[in-house]
Amino acid sequence: MSAWDVTEPSVRALERAAGRAGLGGRVAAGVRDLDRQPLEARDLDAFDAIVFDPPRAGAKAQAEHLADARAERIVGVSCNPATFARDARILAGGGYALDRVTPIDQFTHSAHVELAAAFTRTRA
């Protein structure tokens, strides 16, 4: 079973939701193994905004490519404040300003907290 077989229903659902929201053709969905084939800055230049949600280990290699991208806005989601801080520092070094961070306590009976953060490009 391929990654596409497992994720195809989710990708199709995202495409249908975008169509219903009037965003048909403006939302691209697909499957890519980022460990084997990370997105590089040139792959990201077609996008105005980028969302990344890495595993607990963070997205160091991906953040380095994101820092070189031209997108005006990046949204990061993280379950690990330490790796998020490292990745955010990389984005800041590439010209992105951290606008805000919002903690999300989605597991109310544990000490685990997620976070979502918004970055805006401040320099080319």
Catalytically active residues, by annotation? 79
Kindly state the DSSP code that residue 110 receives in the 8-state scheme: S
For residues 9 and 72, what is the distance between their CA atoms, to the nearest angstrom? 30
Q: How far apart are alpha carbons 116 and 114 in whole angstroms?
A: 7
Whether 71 and 50 have beta carbons less than 8 Å apart is answered as: yes
60 residue type, one letter: K
Q: Are 55 and 27 in contact (CB under 8 A)?
A: no
Q: State the DSSP code for 73.
A: E
